C-alpha cells in the first residue's frame, strides 16, 4: 500500500517547498522505492493554464496535456516518474467536483459541508493522484500542500491530510514542515521564533511534524536546533538545516547527510536499500568544474524574463552539465531591441527566442532573429520563437512583405502563422479551436509523436522521430509552406495526421545552426539525461565561438 508524506510550509512562501519535496523524493528513489509527487494548490482557479505567469511563474505542461504548477517541473527533474494531470489539483477543482456531485443528487439531499465532503474529496483526489503514475501503487507519495500554514485557503487541505493520516493508521503517513529561520543582521542572530509559532499553528490543527526543514541563509548551529526542538516538540535530529546553495541539485545530498530519508523511512516503517546519490554528486561536480563557457542571449518581454522560464533555464543548465560548459544567460528585453537595434547581440555565442503570447515585443524578437540568421549566430526558436522565425524568413527571404501571425495582426496580407479552426484531437473528434473558443480550451496541449525527415539537422539531433509537449494556439500556415521552401527554408518534421510544420531549420550551407520548434522541449529535459536539442544548441554555440576565435 502507498504511504504518504505531506509537506507543508510555514512563515512565508517561496522557501522552496517544491524543491525540498522533490529532493526527498530523489533520495527515496535512490533507495529503490517507487516514488511519486503531488501538488495541491489552495487557490480557486479551476484551470491553472489561464493564470498570469507574472503572478504564478511558469505553466508546466505534462505529457497528457495538463497545464500545471511549475513545481511539477521540479518533480520530473528530480525523479523518474512522469507527472500526469491528476498529480496537481486546486481548491477550485475540488469544489467543482463536489458541486457536480451535489447537482447529480449523489449526496442524497444531505447538507454538503467542508467537513466531511470537501475534505473527503481532497483525500480521494490525493489517492487518485498517487495512483496516476507507476501503473498502480507507488511505495511513497509525497504530497506538497501549497500556501502557508495559517492561511484560510489551505485549511481544508491540512485538515484532509490530518484525517487521512488518522484513517490510514500508524506508520502510514509522515509530516514534513518547511519554515524560515531568518538572520537578523542588527542582532547578529538567527531567530527561531517564527518557526516556533508556525509549528504551534500546525499543532493547533492536529498535525505534529515528524521533520522540520529550517531554511536559513547559513547552516543553523546545534544550540539553535536544540531550541527549535524544545519548543516545537520535534526531536533535535529531525530539525534539519537547509541553507542557501548555488545549485538546487545539491539539496538531496544536504538532506541525506542530515539523515532525513532515514527519519522518514523509520516513521513509515520502510527498510529500503541504502541511498546512492552518486549521480547527483556527478552533476554537481560538472556544474562546478566546466571546461568551456558560452553566453546565450534570451530575447523576451522584460516582465517575462524570470520565473516564467523556469524549465527553460533548467534545460540550459542540464545542457551545460552534459557539455562541460558554463552557460551564461543574458536576458534581453525585446522592446529595447525594437527601439535601439541589435548592438546588444554582438557579443553573444547564440540567440534564443522562447515561447510567449501577445504582440508586445514581437518586432524586437524578429530583429534579433534576423540578426542571428544574417550573422550565422546559432539560433533556437521555441514555439513563438519558431513562429517568429518563419515570419522573419517570409518577410525578408520569401518576399512576403508584411507577413505576420494573425495573433499580432489579424488583417495581415500574409498570415504565415494562423489559427487552424478545425482540429482533429487524438481520439479523432473534431475540436474547435478558434479565437472565440472558451478560454483555456483552445490550445494544442501535451505530447505528440512526430516523424522527422531523414537527412535534416533535426534528424541528426533527435533521430527518426520526436515526442515533445505542446502549448500553443497558432500554427505555421501550410498554404505558405511551398513559398517558404522555395526560399530555402526546410520543414524537417510535420505532424502525421494534420501535416502541420513541427520543426523548421535552415540548410547548413546557409546557416550553421538555425532551428525552430513548435513544441516546448524544455519540459522533457532532466539533469540526469540532459536533452538532445539543448545539448546540440550549446555545442553549436561552442563551435561558433571556436570558429570566430580561429578567424580572429
Ligand atoms: N502565442 C503563440 C501561440 O499561441 C505561441 C505560444 C507559445 O509560445 N507557447 O501559438
Which pLDDT value is given to residue 298? 95
Which pLDDT value is given to residue 421? 63
Residue 307 CB partners (closer than 8 Å, separation 6+): 53, 57, 58, 70
Grid coordinates representing 309?
522560464
Mean pLDDT of 395-406: 95
CB 474 less than 6 A from any atom of ligand 1: yes
274 is in an annotated binding site: no
Residue 190 CB partners (closer than 8 Å, separation 6+): 181, 182, 183, 184, 216, 218, 220, 221, 224
Which pLDDT value is given to residue 116? 96
Which pLDDT value is given to residue 13? 79
Distance separating alpha carbons of residues 18 and 518, to the nearest angstrom = 28
Q: Would you say 415 and 407 are in contact if contact means Cβ atoms under 8 Å apart?
A: no
Which pLDDT value is given to residue 306? 65
Which pLDDT value is given to residue 305? 63
* Cα Rg, the chain, nearest whole Å: 25
Which pLDDT value is given to residue 301? 84
- Determine phi and psi for 369, rounding to 5 degrees: -65, -40
Which pLDDT value is given to residue 19? 95
Closest approach atom of ligand 1 to CA 417: 10
Where in 168-287 does DSSP place strands (E)?
173-180, 183-184, 189-190, 211-216, 239-243
- Determine phi and psi for 425, rounding to 5 degrees: -85, 180
Which pLDDT value is given to residue 241? 97
- Of 21, 71, 40, whose CA–CA distance to 160 is shortest? 40
Mean pLDDT of 38-57: 75
Helix, strand, coil share (%) of the chain residues, nearest 5: 40, 25, 35
Residue 439 reports pLDDT greater than 90: no
Mutate to test the pocket of ligand 1, among 61, 353, 356 (most ligand atoms within 8 A of CB): 356
Residue 259 reports pLDDT greater than 80: yes
Residue-wise pLDDT tens digits, 484-528: 999 999 999 999 878 899 999 999 999 999 999 999 999 999 999
Confidence of residue 11 (pLDDT cuts 50, 70, 90): confident
For residue 142, list its beta bridge partners: 5, 37
CB 142 less than 6 A from any atom of ligand 1: no
Mean pLDDT of 341-366: 94
Gap from CA of 506 to ligand 1 centroid (Å)? 21
- State the pairing for strand pair 415-419/422-424: unpaired
Residue 431 reports pLDDT greater than 80: no
Q: What are the strands of the beta sheet with 514-517, ordered from one edge?
A: 325-333, 292-300, 350-353, 379-382, 514-517, 501-505, 490-494
153 is in an annotated binding site: yes
Confidence of residue 134 (pLDDT cuts 50, 70, 90): low
Distance separating alpha carbons of residues 343 and 160, to the nearest angstrom = 56
Distance separating alpha carbons of residues 416 and 475, to the nearest angstrom = 9
Which pLDDT value is given to residue 541? 97
Residue 78 CB partners (closer than 8 Å, separation 6+): 19, 22, 23, 25, 26, 252
Residue 376 DSSP SS3: coil
Question: Quick check: is 522 catalytic?
Answer: yes
Which pLDDT value is given to residue 428? 47
- Upper half-sphere CA count for residue 449 (Cβ side, 13 Å): 3
Residue 67 reports pLDDT greater than 60: yes
Q: Which residue has the higher pLDDT, 69 or 442?
A: 69
Query: Quick one: DSSP state of residue 122?
Result: H
CB 360 less than 6 A from any atom of ligand 1: no
Grid coordinates representing 374?
544574417
According to DSSP H, which parts of 45-118 are helical?
53-56, 71-78, 91-103
Topology alike, domains 3-282 and 290-551? yes
Distance separating alpha carbons of residues 317 and 385, to the nearest angstrom = 20
Which pLDDT value is given to residue 303? 63
Gap from CA of 383 to ligand 1 centroid (Å)? 6
Which CATH number applies to 3-282?
A: 3.40.50.300
Which pLDDT value is given to residue 14? 77
Q: Would you say 17 and 9 are in contact if contact means Cβ atoms under 8 Å apart?
A: yes
392 is in an annotated binding site: no
Mean pLDDT of 35-52: 84
pTM: 0.90
Closest approach atom of ligand 1 to CA 385: 8
Which pLDDT value is given to residue 48? 67
Gap from CA of 16 to ligand 1 centroid (Å)? 29
Q: Of 76, 224, 468, 522, which one is the catalytic site residue? A: 522
Least confident of 215-224, 306-315, 320-329: 306-315
Question: Quick check: is 344 catalytic?
Answer: no
Average pLDDT over all residues of the chain: 91
Domain ranges of the chain: 3-282, 290-551
Grid coordinates representing 240?
534539519
According to DSSP H, which parts of 258-383 are helical?
260-267, 278-288, 310-323, 334-340, 362-374
End-to-end CA distance of the chain: 65
Q: Of 383, 475, 511, 539, which one is the catalytic site residue? A: 383
Q: Would you say 164 and 29 are in contact if contact means Cβ atoms under 8 Å apart?
A: no
Q: Which residue has the higher pLDDT, 67 or 37?
A: 37
Question: Quick check: is 285 catalytic?
Answer: no
Provide the percentage of residues in the chain whose pLDDT is more than 70: 93
Residue 56 reports pLDDT greater than 70: no
Which pLDDT value is given to residue 429? 46
Residue 214 reports pLDDT greater than 90: yes
Gap from CA of 496 to ligand 1 centroid (Å)? 21
Which pLDDT value is given to residue 427? 47
According to the CATH classification, is domain 290-551 in 3.40.50.300? no
CB 357 less than 6 A from any atom of ligand 1: yes
Amino acid at each position: 500500500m502507498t504511504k504518504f508524506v505531506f509537506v507543508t510550509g510555514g512563515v512565508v512562501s517561496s522557501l522552496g517547498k517544491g524543491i525540498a519535496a522533490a529532493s526527498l523524493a530523489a533520495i527515496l528513489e535512490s533507495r529503490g522505492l517507487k516514488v511519486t509527487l503531488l501538488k495541491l494548490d489552495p487557490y480557486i482557479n479551476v484551470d491553472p493554464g489561464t493564470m498570469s505567469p507574472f503572478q504564478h511563474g511558469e505553466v508546466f505542461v505534462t505529457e497528457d496535456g495538463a497545464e500545471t504548477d511549475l513545481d511539477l517541473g521540479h518533480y520530473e527533474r528530480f525523479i523518474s516518474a512522469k507527472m500526469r494531470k491528476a498529480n496537481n489539483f486546486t481548491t477550485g477543482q475540488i469544489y467543482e467536483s463536489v458541486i457536480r456531485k451535489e447537482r447529480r443528487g449523489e449526496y442524497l439531499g444531505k447538507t454538503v459541508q467542508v467537513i466531511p465532503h470537501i475534505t473527503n474529496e481532497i483525500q480521494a483526489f490525493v489517492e487518485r493522484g498517487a495512483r496516476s503514475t507507476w501503473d498502480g501503487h507507488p511505495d511513497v507519495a509525497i504530497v506538497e500542500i501549497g500556501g502557508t500554514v495559517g492561511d484560510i485557503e489551505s485549511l481544508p487541505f491540512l485538515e484532509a491530510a490530518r484525517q487521512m493520516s488518522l484513517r490510514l493508521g500508524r506508520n502510514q503517513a509522515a509530516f514534513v514542515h518547511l519554515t524560515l529561520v531568518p538572520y537578523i543582521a542588527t542582532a547578529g542572530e538567527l531567530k527561531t521564533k517564527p518557526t516556533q509559532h508556525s509549528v504551534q499553528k500546525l499543532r493547533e490543527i492536529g498535525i505534529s511534524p515528524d521533520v522540520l526543514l529550517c531554511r536559513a541563509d547559513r547552516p543553523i548551529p546545534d544550540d539553535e536546533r536544540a531550541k527549535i526542538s524544545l519548543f516545537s516538540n520535534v526531536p533535535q535530529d529531525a530539525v534539519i538545516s537547509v541553507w542557501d546553495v548555488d545549485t538546487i541539485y545539491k539539496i538531496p545530498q544536504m538532506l541525506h547527510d542530515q539523515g532525513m530519508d532515514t527519519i522518514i523511512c523509520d516513521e513509515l516503517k520502510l527498510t529500503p536499500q541504502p541511498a546512492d546519490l552518486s549521480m547527483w554528486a556527478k552533476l554537481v561536480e560538472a556544474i562546478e568544474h566546466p571546461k568551456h563557457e558560452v553566453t546565450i542571449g534570451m530575447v523576451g518581454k522584460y516582465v517575462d524574463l524570470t520565473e516564467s522560464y523556469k524549465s527553460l533555464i533548467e534545460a540550459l543548465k542540464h545542457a551545460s552539465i552534459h557539455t562541460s560548459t558554463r552557460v551564461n544567460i543574458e536576458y534581453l528585453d525585446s522592446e529595447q531591441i525594437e527601439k535601439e537595434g541589435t548592438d546588444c547581440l554582438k557579443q553573444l555565442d547564440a540567440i534564443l527566442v522562447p515561447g510567449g503570447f501577445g504582440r508586445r515585443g514581437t518586432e524586437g524578437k524578429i530583429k534579433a532573429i534576423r540578426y542571428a540568421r544574417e550573422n550565422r549566430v546559432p539560433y533556437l526558436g521555441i514555439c513563438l520563437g519558431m513562429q517568429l522565425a518563419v515570419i522573419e524568413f517570409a518577410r525578408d527571404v520569401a518576399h512576403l512583405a508584411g507577413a505576420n501571425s494573425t495573433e499580432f495582426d489579424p488583417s495581415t496580407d500574409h498570415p504565415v502563422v494562423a489559427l487552424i479552426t478545425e482540429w482533429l484531437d487524438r481520439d479523432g473528434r473534431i475540436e474547435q479551436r478558434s479565437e472565440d473558443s472558451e478560454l483555456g480550451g483552445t490550445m494544442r496541449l501535451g505530447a505528440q509523436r512526430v516523424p522527422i525527415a531523414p537527412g535534416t539537422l533535426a534528424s541528426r539531433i533527435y533521430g527518426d522521430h520526436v515526442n515533445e509537449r505542446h502549448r500553443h494556439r497558432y500554427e505555421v500556415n501550410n498554404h505558405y509552406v511551398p513559398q517558404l521552401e522555395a526560399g530555402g527554408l526546410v520543414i524537417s518534421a510535420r505532424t502525421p495526421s494534420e501535416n502541420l510544420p513541427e520543426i523548421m531549420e535552415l540548410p547548413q550551407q546557409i546557416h550553421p545552426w538555425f532551428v525552430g520548434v513548435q513544441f516546448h522541449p524544455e519540459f522533457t529535459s532532466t539533469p540526469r539525461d540532459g536533452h538532445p536539442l539543448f545539448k546540440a544548441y550549446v555545442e553549436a554555440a561552442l563551435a561558433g565561438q571556436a570558429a570566430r576565435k580561429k578567424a580572429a
